[in-house]
């Protein structure tokens, strides 16, 4: 009789857990083994009270945990749900579940598409990396959701407070300065730059040297560049050169800008920069260059290679510049900074910010404040003069 | 040492004759692979230099290349000092770092970890809960405790009492904790306990993760239920490639239970999956009982040894012992094994037999040359390392000259000493190399031609009068040109640099070519271990034999890694197992 009670209670409690977790919205995903996720070898509460002797007794029953577990598992077998799916995918899903129980960095919910990507990865390490990536993504998503909820509840309280005291209208000089007006002003400036601004070129020929992730990162950085250029006081005229229509770059840019792609004020062209500009004005910026950029020249056209190289392809952009017989330059990082760790190649948006600052007449110290501080220990105080 | 010198004299005489022959030839000739001649060709450069120097009444720049001993002595072997012999990278780094001391931080770390002591006797629930209260992160108490038990190898009963406590307090045991307990059981070979855990886990989980499978395979394979380990391996195969260790344990289990067919089937499957078997696995195959070994079995073992040769794998010391006793236990054949070393000129110290030459076969040499220029210099993009124009100029230059004997990496050599002008160092080294009537090519960069504090024009001019020079663009890489010029001159040509060329080796397309390149490099790279201006030039002798597993009808020579020696990937072992068959 007691045993019956035990089993009944276990079933009840586990069902309760299932119901609780079910509220989190994963009913939208197709999860065949929902049970294993929350499975733990359960024992009913009464077991605790039932066995007072081991608490007080001197001799400890070492095998006791086994009997407890066995009792707990008897009820479990009835709950098995059989869902038919592709057998190899199913095996993989089970494995992922078990990895999660074993405490590895694995996401809680895996969609069938993600599983398919996982199956296609060639090595064990690649699979582990992908799962870790999914896990981190999931965690970020979850924490963002929580934050949003918090902010929402705070806003509601604020709104209620506001409603109480904003009965009468105030006397103001301006209407509320909306983002729209800011946008309009920036677009005017950009349009001006399109007409009279100094050109700056993003060389988009590196598509085939990059993996998918690197390409996505590059496009993100290019967008960031466009954004900070638009916000600057005196924007550059941006050129996206050698941008193949319907190539990977183009596709990704259109996807990320969504409708705005046709409206942004940059020049995109399939032509190379050497076809558009006179060769003696072009300067290719690359960290491998033997020449240091002494000062910013307002008559030159600087080229930035839009490339994120996570696998350290040394000399790639230098080779391109050599091939086209262009002048090259690198930032004088060693002259002004006590370099500590990290590669000397900066991200595109850092590069853009440095150039904007130089263009606006800032000195090197101000411009190089955009170099990440983790990479250097500070500025060299007395800058050595050139011999 | 005396006998060595006599040997050098002989070599010198021979090489003199060969020199005359060589210079009459205009096209780069690949010399016929006559073992003894080839072996001495490379040697001649070091030795004839020394003979020349002693004959000269000028300042002797080159001394006899006798072993330069590091501070800790030569360690018995006659040539423990070449850059490619095992452990020399470690030695160099020790000299550079002036002996790494154990930092106080790491000690602090270990103190921090021992905050909570693992109990030595099983505890009751009350005592455990008291301990848990003292612990800072109550959520992870049980797992942390179990991990500590694994690392301190504590008694299994303590772990059991912890499980009992956890089962009661949390109404169950998590999979994670059970897994850690399983690891503890397997670690201590508690077979009965592993069986119990298996029953429990099988009842409650439909499948396991890879860690649990590995532990079960390890636990089961040595017992009577080893067949279950094989089925688990099959299950594992469905979702992921099992690790070499998984395979190895199954193979060991099969061998122990006298199922040799299964063992070999698994071994072949593992090789097909592209996995490298563990040493223990191979050792267990060599250690298999004698009555189990029929002809096919023995042939398979010989195949493993051939694999060692093909992939340049060197067994460790325990495996070497197994191989030795396997040979010695061969019925009907009387083998005798000895630990041996090899003299500089390539003779086994034990049986006085000459080992295989390090020189490449002509077809290997040609293919290496072709692949080298395609993948290292040109690569996907010739502009990365040089320009097509420069490459063409250089090829033209090399083709227009008779083959060289030594190609010198000018910048690398110039920087071996930081005293005095770099140009002076380079000039001294080059002069002493050329004094033996050798044809020398010096590769440099154009900036060396500009007069500066460290590059004096007069030195460069003197150098250009004595030897051929080629100056590359400042932003081109010089090492590929060095290697190409050396390869192009034929197999007698050596190159002088301290660079180990690892980055260029990694540019080669596949592993066999890399091994070929490494073999060529060992046979042709000259190294100046240290140098001060004005002192005698010492060169490390070139190895003239190949460090590779090799056999004749009556003998086997197997290089192996000595215990306690850290061998880097660009080094080869210097200890050998010499096996002789008695008639």
Per-residue model confidence as pLDDT tens digits over A336-375:
999 988 888 899 999 999 999 999 988 899 999 999 999 9
Contact A55 B124 (CB under 8 A): yes
Contact B50, B65 (CB under 8 A): yes
Neighbours of A216 (CB within 10 A): 16
Q: Does B209 touch chain A (CB under 8 A)?
A: yes
Q: Is the pLDDT of residue B573 over 50?
A: yes
Q: Is the pLDDT of residue A284 over 80?
A: yes
Give the span between the Cα atoms of A99 and B175, in whole angstroms: 10
Contact A41 B166 (CB under 8 A): no
Give the span between the Cα atoms of B355 and B345, in whole angstroms: 9
For A109, the enclosing helix (H) or strand (E) is none
| Confidence at B114, pLDDT banded by 50, 70, 90 | low
Give B385 to chain A, closest Cα distance, Å: 8
Chain B environment of A115 (Cβ under 8 Å) = none
Among the listed residues B227, B226, B297, B228, the one whose alpha carbon sits nearest the alpha carbon of residue B260: B297
Q: Is the pLDDT of residue A75 over 50?
A: no
Take residue B394 and report the two structure tokens written for it.
């250089």
Take residue B345 and report the two structure tokens written for it.
């000129």
Q: Is the pLDDT of residue A197 over 90?
A: yes
Q: Does B503 touch chain A (CB under 8 A)?
A: no
pLDDT tens readout for residues A94-142 = 888 888 888 888 898 888 888 888 888 888 899 999 999 999 999 999 9
One DSSP character per residue, B107-138 reads HHHHHHHTTSPPPSS---HHHHHHHHHHSS-G
pLDDT for residue A35? 41
pLDDT for residue A61? 66
Take residue B27 and report the two structure tokens written for it.
């096209």
pLDDT for residue B435? 86
Take residue B207 and report the two structure tokens written for it.
């499948």
Tell me the HSE value of A309 on the side-chain side, using a 13 A CA sphere: 18
Contact B168 A68 (CB under 8 A): yes
Contact B160 A63 (CB under 8 A): yes
Q: Does B160 touch chain A (CB under 8 A)?
A: yes
What SS3 state is found at B566? coil
User: What's B159-190 look like in SS3?
Assistant: HHHHHHHHHHHCCCCCHHHHHHHHHHHHHCCC
Q: Quick one: CA torsion of B71, B74, B80, B86, rounded to 10 degrees?
A: -70
Instruction: For residue B211, give the nearest of A36, A102, A320 by CB distance.
Output: A102
| Confidence at B440, pLDDT banded by 50, 70, 90 | very high
Give the span between the Cα atoms of B299 and B280, in whole angstroms: 19
A-B CB pairs within 8 A amount to 137
pLDDT tens readout for residues B234-287 = 988 888 889 999 999 999 999 999 889 999 999 999 999 989 999 999 999 999
Contact A219, A253 (CB under 8 A): yes
Give A103 to chain B, closest Cα distance, Å: 6
Residue of B nearest to A64 (CA): B164
Q: Which of A41, A128, A325 to mutate to test the interface with B (most CBs of B within 10 A)?
A: A41
Angle between helices B175-187 and B156-169 in degrees, nearest 10: 170
pLDDT for residue A97? 87
Take residue B88 and report the two structure tokens written for it.
């020399």
One DSSP character per residue, A229-246 reads HHHSSS--EEEEET--TT
Give the span between the Cα atoms of A31 and A110, in whole angstroms: 8
Listed range (A28-37, A89-98, B177-186) with the worst mean pLDDT: A28-37
Neighbours of A285 (CB within 10 A): 23
pLDDT tens readout for residues B308-363 = 999 989 999 999 999 999 999 888 888 999 999 998 888 999 998 999 998 899 99
Q: Which of B205, B389, B504 to mutate to test the interface with A (most CBs of A within 10 A)?
A: B205
Listed range (A52-66, A286-300, B396-410) with the worst mean pLDDT: A52-66
Chain B environment of A57 (Cβ under 8 Å) = 124
Give the span between the Cα atoms of B406 and B238, in whole angstroms: 56
pLDDT for residue A304? 95
Q: How many residues does the structure list for chain A?
A: 387
Give the span between the Cα atoms of B249 and B257, in whole angstroms: 12
Take residue A297 and report the two structure tokens written for it.
């020249």
| Confidence at B104, pLDDT banded by 50, 70, 90 | low
Contact A290 B239 (CB under 8 A): no
pLDDT tens readout for residues A293-346 = 998 999 999 999 999 987 767 888 999 999 999 999 999 999 999 998 888 889
For residue A376, what are the β-bridge partners?
A339
Listed range (A141-150, B33-42, B234-243) with the worst mean pLDDT: B33-42
| Confidence at A70, pLDDT banded by 50, 70, 90 | low
pLDDT tens readout for residues B45-65 = 555 444 444 444 333 333 334
Give A371 to chain B, closest Cα distance, Å: 26
pLDDT for residue B537? 83
Give the span between the Cα atoms of A126 and B110, in whole angstroms: 33
Chain A environment of B383 (Cβ under 8 Å) = 318-320, 322-323
Q: Does B452 touch chain A (CB under 8 A)?
A: no
Instruction: For residue A64, give the nearest of B123, B164, B176 by CB distance.
Output: B164
Mean pLDDT of A6-34: 46
pLDDT for residue B30? 38
% residues pLDDT > 90 (chain A):
48
Q: Is the pLDDT of residue B385 over 90?
A: no
Chain A environment of B166 (Cβ under 8 Å) = 65
% residues pLDDT > 70 (chain B):
82
What SS3 state is found at A329? strand
End-to-end CA distance of chain A: 97
What SS3 state is found at B314? coil
Give the span between the Cα atoms of A322 and B387, in whole angstroms: 8
Residue of B nearest to A65 (CA): B164
Contact B176 A98 (CB under 8 A): no
Mean pLDDT of B98-104: 54
Contact B385 A315 (CB under 8 A): yes
């Amino acid at each position: 009789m007691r045993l019956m009670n035990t089993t009944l209670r276990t079933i009840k409690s586990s069902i309760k857990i299932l119901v609780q977790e079910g509220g989190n919205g994963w009913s939208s995903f197709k999860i065949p083994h929902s049970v294993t996720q929350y499975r733990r070898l359960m024992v009913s509460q009464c077991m605790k009270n039932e066995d007072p002797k081991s608490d007080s007794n001197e001799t400890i029953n070492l095998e006791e945990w086994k009997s407890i577990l066995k009792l707990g598992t008897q009820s479990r077998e009835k709950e098995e749900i059989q869902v038919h799916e592709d057998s190899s995918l199913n095996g993989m899903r089970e494995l992922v579940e078990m990895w999660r129980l074993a405490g590895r960095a694995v996401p809680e919910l895996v969609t069938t598409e993600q599983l398919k990507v996982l199956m296609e990865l060639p090595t064990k390490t690649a699979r582990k990396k992908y799962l870790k990536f999914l896990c981190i993504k999931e965690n970020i998503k979850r924490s963002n959701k929580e934050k949003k909820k918090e902010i929402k509840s705070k806003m509601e309280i604020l709104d209620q407070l506001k409603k109480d005291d904003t009965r009468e209208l105030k006397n103001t000089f301006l209407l509320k300065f909306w983002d729209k007006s800011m946008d309009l002003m920036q677009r005017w400036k950009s349009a001006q730059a399109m007409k009279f601004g100094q050109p700056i070129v993003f060389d988009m020929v590196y598509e085939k040297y990059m993996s998918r992730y690197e390409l996505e990162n590059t496009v993100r950085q290019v967008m960031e560049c466009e954004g900070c250029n638009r916000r600057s006081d005196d924007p550059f005229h941006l050129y996206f050169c050698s941008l193949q229509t319907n190539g990977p770059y183009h596709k990704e840019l259109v996807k990320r800008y969504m409708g705005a792609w046709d409206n942004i004020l940059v020049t995109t062209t399939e032509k190379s920069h050497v076809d558009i500009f006179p060769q003696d004005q072009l300067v290719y910026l690359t960290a491998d260059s033997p020449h240091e950029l002494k000062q910013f020249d307002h008559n030159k056209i600087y080229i930035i290679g839009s490339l994120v190289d996570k696998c350290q392809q040394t000399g790639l952009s230098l080779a391109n510049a050599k091939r086209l017989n262009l002048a090259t330059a690198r930032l004088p990082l060693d002259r002004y900074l006590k370099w500590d760790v990290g590669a000397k190649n900066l991200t595109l948006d850092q590069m853009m910010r440095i150039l904007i600052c130089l263009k606006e007449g800032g000195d090197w110290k101000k411009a190089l404040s955009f170099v990440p501080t983790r990479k250097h220990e500070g500025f060299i105080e007395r800058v050595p003069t050139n011999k | 040492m005396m006998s060595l010198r006599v040997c050098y004299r002989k070599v010198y005489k021979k090489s003199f004759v060969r020199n005359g022959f060589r210079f009459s030839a205009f096209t780069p000739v690949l010399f016929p692979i006559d073992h003894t001649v080839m072996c001495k060709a490379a040697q001649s450069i070091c030795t004839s230099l020394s003979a020349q120097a002693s004959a000269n009444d000028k300042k002797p720049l080159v001394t006899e290349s006798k072993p330069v001993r590091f501070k800790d002595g030569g360690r018995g072997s006659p040539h423990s000092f070449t850059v490619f012999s095992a452990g020399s990278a470690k030695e160099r780094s020790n000299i550079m770092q002036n002996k790494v001391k154990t930092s106080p931080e790491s000690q602090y770390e270990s103190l921090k970890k021992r905050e909570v002591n693992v109990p030595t006797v099983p505890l009751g629930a009350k005592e455990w809960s008291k301990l848990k209260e003292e612990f800072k992160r109550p959520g992870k108490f049980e797992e942390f405790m179990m991990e500590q038990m694994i690392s301190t190898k504590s008694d299994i009963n303590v772990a059991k009492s912890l499980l009992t406590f956890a089962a009661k307090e949390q109404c169950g045991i998590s999979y994670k904790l059970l897994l850690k307990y399983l690891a503890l059981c397997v670690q201590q070979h508690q077979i009965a306990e592993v069986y119990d855990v298996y029953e429990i886990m099988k009842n409650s989980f439909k499948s396991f993760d890879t860690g649990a499978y590995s532990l079960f395979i390890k636990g089961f394979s040595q017992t009577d239920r080893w067949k279950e380990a094989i089925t688990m391996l099959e299950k594992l195969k469905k979702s992921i490639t099992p690790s070499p260790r998984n395979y190895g344990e199954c193979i060991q289990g099969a061998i122990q239970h006298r199922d040799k067919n299964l063992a070999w089937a698994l071994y072949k499957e593992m090789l097909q999956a592209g996995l490298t078997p563990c040493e223990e696995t191979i050792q267990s195959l060599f250690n298999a009982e004698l009555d189990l070994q029929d002809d096919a079995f023995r042939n398979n073992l010989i195949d493993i040894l051939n694999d060692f040769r093909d992939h340049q794998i060197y067994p460790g010391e325990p495996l070497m012992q197994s191989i030795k006793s396997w040979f010695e236990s061969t019925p009907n054949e009387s083998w005798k094994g000895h630990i041996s070393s090899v003299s500089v000129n390539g003779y086994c110290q034990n049986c006085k037999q000459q080992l295989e030459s390090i020189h490449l076969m002509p077809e290997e040499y040609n293919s290496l040359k072709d692949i080298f220029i395609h993948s290292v210099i040109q690569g996907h993009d010739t502009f990365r390392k040089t320009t097509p124009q420069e490459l063409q100029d250089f090829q033209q230059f090399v083709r227009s000259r008779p083959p060289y004997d030594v190609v010198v990496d000018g910048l690398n050599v110039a920087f071996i000493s930081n005293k005095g002008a770099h140009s002076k160092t380079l000039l001294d080294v080059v002069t002493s190399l050329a004094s033996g009537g050798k044809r020398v090519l010096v590769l440099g960069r154009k900036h060396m031609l500009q007069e500066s504090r460290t590059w004096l024009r007069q030195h460069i001019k003197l150098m250009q009068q004595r030897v051929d020079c080629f100056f590359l663009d400042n932003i081109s890489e010089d090492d590929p040109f060095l290697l190409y010029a050396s390869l192009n001159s034929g197999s007698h040509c050596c190159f002088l640099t301290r660079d180990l060329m690892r980055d260029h080796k990694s540019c080669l397309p596949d592993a066999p070519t890399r091994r070929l390149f490494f073999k060529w490099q060992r046979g042709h790279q000259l190294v100046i271990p240290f140098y001060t201006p004005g002192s005698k030039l010492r060169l490390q002798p070139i190895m003239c034999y190949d460090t590779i597993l090799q056999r004749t009808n009556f003998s086997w020579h197997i290089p192996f890694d000595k215990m306690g020696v850290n061998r880097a990937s660009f080094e080869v072992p210097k200890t050998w197992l010499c096996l002789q068959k008695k008639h």
